[in-house]
Amino acid sequence: MIICRTINEYRKAHSNLNGSIGFVPTMGALHDGHVSLVKRSVKENKSTVVSIFLNPTQFDNSSDLENYPKTLEQDIQQLENNGTDIIILPDYDFVYPDDYKYLVSNKELSSILCGAYREGHFDGVLTVVMKLLNIAKADNAYFGEKDYQQYLLIKGMAEAFFLDTKIISCPIIRENSGLAMSSRNERLSKDARRKASELYRIISMDLSIEDKKSKLIETGFEVEYLTQFQNRLFAAVYLEKVRLIDNVKI
Ligand code: AMP
């Protein structure tokens, strides 16, 4: 496994690959959700490239960025154990030589659901993913349905800009309790983590959206939104100031 910290290192490593390349962008603090994307890429491609970059431009809240868990040594080990060929480990100047003066944005889907509450979030996401896709030069890129709105936006961006990389979605990986795996779960107390598993249970119930919302509030969640979009129900809630998102097919 090769670790690339500069664009030239990656270009060199990339030129030695042959056959199809799968790419998995992440922000680190890896868990089984991330690993499922890596495994899928390894299964479907000759080589797998993973990036670890905690992208500051997609954080609308500086304490969320500061408190984001960092487990780099473990992440590298986990990627090596699961068949990754190359890790792109860039710093801010690698990704943003323009210091975020050029942006990719969307005019519609980015302003609803999470976008209505996190100003500039999807500008940061789309811009960094566009840059990473251009760097990685992969055939296939894998994204989790845990961030379904993000997946839709990235897929739309790839089509709008004629990107060569195919955007592939992968199912949500959950803990045994039903809680969608997330790096932010690590910030919950033991008690809150138990409570957090009620989110998936409640949004999957056969009830009206209003009744589900009441149940979430009774359980102790602060509900940011619970909204149907297309054939999915999307939820964002807070527990102990930690923001959790989930979605289920209706
Ligand atoms: P992140 O490190 O949060 O930017 O996530 C990197 C990728 O992993 C994104 O495509 C996420 O949607 C995906 N991901 C995160 N959590 C899960 C999960 N529980 N199940 C499936 N994919 C996930």
pLDDT tens-place string over residues 66-122: 999 999 999 999 999 999 999 999 999 999 999 999 999 999 999 999 999 999 999
What is the atom index within ligand 1 of the atom nearest the CA of 182? 16
Q: Mind listing the pLDDT tens digit for each residue in 190-240? A: 999 999 999 999 999 999 999 999 999 999 999 999 999 999 999 999 999
Q: Is the full-model pTM beyond 0.85?
A: yes
What is the atom index within ligand 1 of the atom nearest the CA of 174? 19
Residue 207 is predicted with a pLDDT of 98
Give the C-alpha separation, 250 to 93, whole Å. Answer: 42
Q: Mind listing the pLDDT tens digit for each residue in 19-58? A: 999 999 999 999 999 999 999 999 999 999 999 999 999 9
**Reported confidence tier of residue 155, pLDDT bands at 50, 70, 90:** very high
Residue 33 is predicted with a pLDDT of 98
Ligand 1, residues at Cβ distance < 6 Å? 26-27, 33-34, 36-37, 143-144, 146-147, 170, 172-173, 180-183
144 CA from centroid of ligand 1 (Å)? 5
Q: Could you give the count of Cα atoms lying within 13 Å of 21 in the half-sphere of its Cβ?
A: 20
Residue 243 is predicted with a pLDDT of 96
79 CA from centroid of ligand 1 (Å)? 14
180 CA from centroid of ligand 1 (Å)? 10
Q: Does residue 72 contact residue 52 with C-beta atoms inside 8 Å?
A: yes
Residue 70 is predicted with a pLDDT of 95
User: Average per-residue pLDDT in the chain?
Assistant: 97
Atom 6 of ligand 1, residue of closest alpha carbon: 26
Tokens found for residue 35? 């690993």
Query: Active-site positions?
Result: 34
Residue 97 is predicted with a pLDDT of 97
Atom 11 of ligand 1, residue of closest alpha carbon: 144
Q: Give me Rg for the CA atoms of the chain.
A: 18
Residue 162 is predicted with a pLDDT of 98
Distances (CA, A) of 246 to 1, 30, 160, 201, 202: 33, 18, 27, 11, 11
Residue 34 is predicted with a pLDDT of 98
Residues linked to residue 239 through DSSP beta bridges, in sequence order: 242
Distances (CA, A) of 22 to 47, 88, 140, 145, 181: 6, 13, 5, 17, 22
Residues 6+ apart with CB under 8 A from 143: 25, 37, 150, 151, 154, 167, 168, 169, 170
**Reported confidence tier of residue 16, pLDDT bands at 50, 70, 90:** very high
Give the C-alpha separation, 209 to 100, whole Å. Answer: 39
**Reported confidence tier of residue 169, pLDDT bands at 50, 70, 90:** very high
